[in-house]
Amino acid sequence: VDRVLEGVAALLQEEVRDADTVCRWRGEEFAVLLPETGAAEAATLAQRMRQRIGETPSTGVAGITASFGITELQAGQTRDAFVGEADRAL
């Protein structure tokens, strides 16, 4: 499992800009923070990431899938509300 997660993290990191952040979030989940990026751009990137993850073979695993929840941080929004929106978007 750790090798799979490391591989997914590396793929995600290859797809983002230097200003973006990829981090592990709760077990087998990741958060990708994209400053100055709108929802449409984020959705396009998420689709590209999902496709790349699905097409990349991983030793000992039949196949890897990914789903993404996208939200935009609103002024004054708490972290919990922001994360909750992303979770609901999944």
Looking at the annotation, which residues are catalytic? Answer: 28
Do the Cβ atoms of 56 and 23 come closer than 8 Å? no
For the residues of 45-75, what is the DSSP string, one character each?
HHHHHHHHHHHS-BTTBS----------PPT
DSSP 12: H
Query: 23 has which bridge partners?
Result: 31
Say how far apart CA 79 and CA 1 lie, in whole Å.
28
